[in-house]
Structure 1
């Protein structure tokens, strides 16, 4: 079948096209679902084309693994709560990095002259060649390094978001130790790329790479996970692309490049939204909390649900600002029900989303979409901030650091310089909050003590339900 290689390459090209078009459609909430479907069809096509390669061994075993993976993903995807979606994304992203690292490991072992006996009785040596080029070695090493870091780092991110690990883990001279571990891993990688292909050296290289991923992520606070998830997403894409060059697989090259580029851009946007540099993300004491030098005057002033409902019922403009607390309380449906009741009374309602609200990029958008909030009512930070001065009431539910005025007024604050939603500029602010404690980053919020702010204490879903009840009571 002389035409088979050309057909496989055509399938890879079509798969890559579907990846790119799918990603483009994911840029809008209106077309995102279709974009995911397009990309999924592209992946299916790429898998089928790969299985058709003449030199593929163990097709039965590969198919069994694919079926197991698809079944597990389908089951977990159907059962996972929206509040747990960030850790699932981190876990799946880590699996991609781990797969790239595993490809690199097999290639390097093969390059080392260690033939691997396959289940069908065949022998494997990387790419069938015992003398790889310097470029192949370098790409295999670099892809393995990045993939291993993404794998172990993503597992730590998953554990933090799942609540299995403390928010941060620090020790003296941590940056220096981290840099030494990275330097040792890079040094071993350079030696391997130069032809030192002993199995102990390869094992040590992977051990140090995995260790660096762990140590780089352990000191990062859970409140800063949106940037971390984006960063490791970029790492995984880059690792896959590099290993695609090693395997000479066009689908891996294009898909990995697209994911790496998109992840890099998203990381830059997330870092900008938190006023941090990428270098600070990688090597700083990222997400550190600390005492705020600026004194916060005043006191937190409570409000009853009935009074809050009346205040918003007779307002002209209301802006609702959701945060992770809304996700934890699973209050998005009640919040939208309340918003619909306000709209029915003629109140102009909008939802304001900060770029890093929640635990991953777009988390709040997904929750609101799940509740059925129309896209034209959702505004991003740059668009909504000029409207706060003419907003009668801003309702904050579960958000903390992204509405904290100290980001603009206190140079000693860990979040100083971070762009925020200017909720404090609204005429009145109502904050739904479970208690008087600080947010996830451990930073006191000056908004809660402002003269125009009132706090409605209670669980987010229960409080939103009370607002709905009180608002309906006004009509009777």
Structure 2
């Protein structure tokens, strides 16, 4: 609903400023999307609701990243267009890179989270179980991929018209989403879904900077902040920390020695317990 309000506000703002909107195409998109969403929400069982939420999170992040990409591409392909007030092409490219990092990582991570919650995926009538694979060397790979994306964003500042940087950012971000979620087990998946929900809001906020829309920035920031708060609350309830969830496959936050007290028993007590 929040994203719907943001979309409607953006469309109305563009109509008032330019007056050249294709309302038929916009309304058709809203109707088709609403019908698909209603059908999916009605058909899914309550036990499958986390999977649906994960899927919608991924779609939200991808939508924000696509809007950022299209707006940036527009200014790169046509240098004669007037940039939004107070923005330069370098700022737009940086915001698009950050939106791509968060948005595409959210999409691939959410899809993998959905398959993990479902237990697998059926392809051509054959069922494939979703693996949980996380060797120790995978954590440095996550850090390396993140640094690579940030380096590409910095490099794009010096050459903002080079679209190769954007495509490389998109590819690495998609891989990062898979690598990030792959080692995480099913018990921690609700925390991951909550975190991905937060990331989808952050991607929307970055996109709001590109189109100079305060409503989208505020809405995305609210979703991002509330999602992070919920994520930390869930981690605390599970006696885990967020780094443990993201960088450790299984186990608690710390290695503690469990002290067990030996309790004596005799055959009569055991017989009473068995008899109920």
1:108 touches 1:202 (CA, 8 Å); kept in 2? no
2:93 touches 2:160 (CA, 8 Å); kept in 1? no
CA distance in 2 between counterparts of 1:203 and 1:107 reads 15
Q: Deviations over 1:289-319 (max 9, x none)?
A: 6xxxxxxxxxxxxxxxxxxxxxxxxxxxxxx
The answer for the alignment partner of 2:171 in structure 1 is 207
CA distance in 1 between counterparts of 2:212 and 2:70 reads 15
Say whether residues 1:151 and 2:114 are aligned partners. no
CA distance in 1 between counterparts of 2:5 and 2:149 reads 36
Q: Which has the higher helix share?
A: 2
1:237 touches 1:259 (CA, 8 Å); kept in 2? yes
The answer for the alignment partner of 1:222 in structure 2 is 186
The answer for the alignment partner of 1:75 in structure 2 is 39
Query: Which of 1 and 2 has greater Rg?
Result: 1
Change (3 A) 1:200 1:247: same
Change (3 A) 1:180 1:239: same
Map 1:281-430 to 2 at 5 A: 281-282=245-246, 284-286=247-249, 288=250, 411=256
CA distance in 2 between counterparts of 1:135 and 1:232 reads 25
RMSD of the TM alignment (CA)? 3.0
The answer for the alignment partner of 2:97 in structure 1 is 141
1:167 touches 1:220 (CA, 8 Å); kept in 2? no
The answer for the alignment partner of 1:90 in structure 2 is 54
CA distance in 1 between counterparts of 2:169 and 2:140 reads 19
The answer for the alignment partner of 2:208 in structure 1 is 244
Say whether residues 1:132 and 2:132 are aligned partners. no
Runs of 4+ displaced beyond 6 Å? none
Say whether residues 1:59 and 2:23 are aligned partners. yes
CA distance in 1 between counterparts of 2:170 and 2:202 reads 17
Change (3 A) 1:48 1:212: closer
The answer for the alignment partner of 1:161 in structure 2 is 117
The alpha carbon displacement at 1:44 in A equals 5.1
CA distance in 1 between counterparts of 2:230 and 2:22 reads 38
1:234 touches 1:259 (CA, 8 Å); kept in 2? yes
Q: Deviations over 1:426-468 (max 9, x none)?
A: xxxxxxxxxxxxxxxxxxxxxxxxxx999xxxxxxxxxxxxxx
Q: Deviations over 1:362-394 (max 9, x none)?
A: xxxxxxxxxxxxxxxxxxxxxxxxxxxxxxxxx
- Report the 3-state secondary structure (helix = DSSP H, G, I; strand = E; otherwise coil) of the residue aligned with 1:66: helix
CA distance in 1 between counterparts of 2:216 and 2:273 reads 52
CA distance in 2 between counterparts of 1:221 and 1:63 reads 41
CA distance in 2 between counterparts of 1:193 and 1:61 reads 34
Structure 2: 5+ residue runs without aligned partners?
A: 121-128, 259-271
CA distance in 1 between counterparts of 2:156 and 2:149 reads 11
1:167 touches 1:221 (CA, 8 Å); kept in 2? no
Change (3 A) 1:412 1:246: farther
Normalised to the residue count of structure 1, the TM-score between the two structures is 0.47
Which shifted more, 146-155 or 165-174?
A: 165-174
CA distance in 2 between counterparts of 1:79 and 1:97 reads 23
Q: Which has the higher strand share?
A: 1
Q: In the alignment, which of 136, 139, 143 is matched to residue 179 of structure 1? A: 143
The alpha carbon displacement at 1:216 in A equals 0.5
The answer for the alignment partner of 2:74 in structure 1 is 110
CA distance in 2 between counterparts of 1:73 and 1:223 reads 27
Say whether residues 1:260 and 2:224 are aligned partners. yes
The alpha carbon displacement at 1:102 in A equals 1.0
Normalised to the residue count of structure 2, the TM-score between the two structures is 0.79
The alpha carbon displacement at 1:127 in A equals 4.9
Aligned residues: 247
